[in-house]
């Protein structure tokens, strides 16, 4: 089977866009748009700017086509502002949603909510900016960051407002040309009719249950079911005994401090994440898992330990407890994954293109 190359470079329709030799890189998430400069020679990131995304979080009443237009205009504005009068050699966009190899955004639950018409973001930006553009899923970009340091094939998992994953093997992220693959967050792990809702509108998805939002919802349900236990807990103390004051920072802190109430809630969601990891392991034999994302990294090492415990309890066929423990690692505690990763991907793609042209 031939694996399509993730992130096809869309050529510019305008000439004279060599710019400064650096890349302009962007990471478009559900709440924040990050823009930076990536130097492919030194492999360094600089001039990072963060602004709120003009998506559903800021304009919840707008229809999908309007939100798509808002986000495209914002991306163009940020690229132009960032480059100033210097131009840019190429543009890389890490985007929160499934992306085809040609840069077609198939869906974006955290950016514009329910599925609308596919958005040809790569072509739109190449035409507007006048520089080559690559658009990939944000986890695909992040996988390229970790490919620089991981010596063996690995699965990258993010646990933040949602859940996503990508497998990197053989020098590529495993995706098909239409962007399918690496969407464990939309695996239906709870088929019951009253299962929690996902951002995409479906029920019982892993992302709606085990993400930061899912854990928060589970904590609120647990507080309502056991108000006395919640009031006695460290989590209850941090929230002044009010379930409506619960938030993810309080949950993360409570788990780090060993609160049994908060830990029990988190364990209940990790059952499903461990099942998903077990399925990846048993199906394609990936033995390395890197965990990133705002919620997981906020809990920190305790999150990794609890996940390993659940994996050991469920059993990973052929692996003992020590091997399971060695297979799970935490990612870098920053928010530069997409920016650095799409910069590395751009460097790979432009080098390949230059080699083809020279040949």
What are the pLDDT digits (tens) for 183-198? 899 999 999 999 998 8
What are the tens digits of pLDDT across the range 47-103?
Answer: 999 999 999 989 998 999 999 999 999 999 999 999 876 778 899 999 988 898 888
Identify the pLDDT of residue 2: 35
**Of 63, 54, 66, 132, residue with least CA distance to 93:** 132
pLDDT of 20 strictly over 90: no
Identify the pLDDT of residue 356: 47
Distance (Å, rounded) from C-alpha 293 to C-alpha 127? 33
pLDDT of 176 strictly over 90: no
Higher pLDDT, 164 or 300: 300
Contact 88, 23 (CB under 8 A): yes
Looking at residues 247-256, what average pLDDT do you find? Answer: 97
Contact 142, 291 (CB under 8 A): no
Identify the pLDDT of residue 54: 95
Per-residue pLDDT band at 156 (split at 50, 70, 90)? very high
Residues contacting residue 237 through CB under 8 Å, at least 6 positions apart: none
Domain definitions of the chain by residue range? 23-137+336-358, 154-330
Q: What percent of the chain has pLDDT over 90?
A: 70
pLDDT of 44 strictly over 50: yes
Q: Which fold has domain 23-137+336-358?
A: Nucleotidyltransferase; domain 5 (3.30.420)
What are the tens digits of pLDDT across the range 314-354?
Answer: 998 889 999 999 999 999 988 899 999 999 999 988 876 55
Per-residue pLDDT band at 162 (split at 50, 70, 90)? confident
Identify the pLDDT of residue 14: 43
Angle at the Cα of 276 (from 148 to 280), degrees rounded to 5? 55
Mean pLDDT of the chain: 89
What are the tens digits of pLDDT across the range 115-127?
Answer: 788 999 999 999 9
Q: Which pTM was predicted? A: 0.84
Identify the pLDDT of residue 357: 47
Identify the pLDDT of residue 246: 96
Per-residue pLDDT band at 13 (split at 50, 70, 90)? low
Distance (Å, rounded) from C-alpha 289 to C-alpha 324? 10
Identify the pLDDT of residue 85: 67
Identify the pLDDT of residue 132: 92
pLDDT of 257 strictly over 60: yes
Identify the pLDDT of residue 309: 97
- Least confident residue range of 29-33, 121-125, 218-222: 29-33
Token digits for 314? 């469920």
Contact 7, 135 (CB under 8 A): yes
Q: Which fold has domain 154-330?
A: Nucleotidyltransferase; domain 5 (3.30.420)
First-to-last C-alpha distance (Å) of the chain: 26
């Amino acid at each position: 089977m031939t694996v399509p190359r993730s992130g096809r470079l869309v050529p510019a329709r305008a000439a004279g866009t060599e710019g400064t030799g650096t890349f302009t890189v962007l990471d478009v998430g559900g709440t924040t748009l990050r823009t930076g400069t990536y130097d492919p020679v030194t492999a360094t990131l600089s001039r990072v700017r963060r602004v709120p995304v003009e998506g559903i979080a800021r304009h919840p009443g707008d229809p999908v086509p309007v939100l798509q237009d808002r986000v495209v205009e914002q991306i163009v504005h940020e690229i132009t502002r960032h480059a100033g009068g210097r131009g840019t050699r190429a543009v890389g966009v890490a985007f929160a949603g499934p992306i085809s190899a040609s840069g077609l955004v198939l869906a974006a639950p955290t950016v514009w909510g329910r599925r609308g018409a596919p958005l040809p973001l790569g072509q739109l930006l190449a035409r507007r900016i006048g520089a080559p553009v690559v658009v990939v899923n944000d986890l695909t970009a992040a996988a390229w960051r970790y490919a620089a340091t991981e010596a063996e094939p690995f699965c990258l998992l993010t646990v933040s407002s949602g859940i996503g994953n990508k497998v990197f093997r053989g020098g590529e992220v495993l995706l098909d040309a239409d962007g399918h693959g690496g969407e464990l967050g939309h695996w239906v792990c709870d088929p019951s009719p009253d299962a929690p809702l996902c951002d995409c509108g479906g029920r019982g998805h892993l992302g709606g249950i085990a993400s930061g939002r899912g854990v928060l919802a589970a904590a609120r349900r647990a507080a309502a079911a056991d108000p006395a236990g919640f009031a006695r807990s460290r989590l209850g103390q941090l929230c002044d005994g009010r379930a409506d004051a619960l938030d993810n920072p309080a949950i993360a802190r409570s788990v780090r401090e060993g609160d049994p109430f908060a830990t029990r809630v988190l364990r209940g969601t990790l059952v499903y994440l461990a099942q998903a990891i077990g399925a990846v392991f048993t199906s394609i034999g990936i033995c390395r898992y890197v965990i990133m994302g705002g919620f997981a990294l906020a809990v920190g090492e305790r999150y990794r330990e609890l996940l390993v415990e659940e994996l050991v309890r469920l059993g990973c066929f052929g692996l003992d407890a020590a091997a399971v423990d060695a297979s799970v690692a935490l990612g870098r505690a920053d928010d530069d994954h997409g920016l650095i990763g799409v910069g590395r991907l751009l460097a790979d793609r432009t080098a390949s293109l230059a080699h083809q042209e020279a040949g």
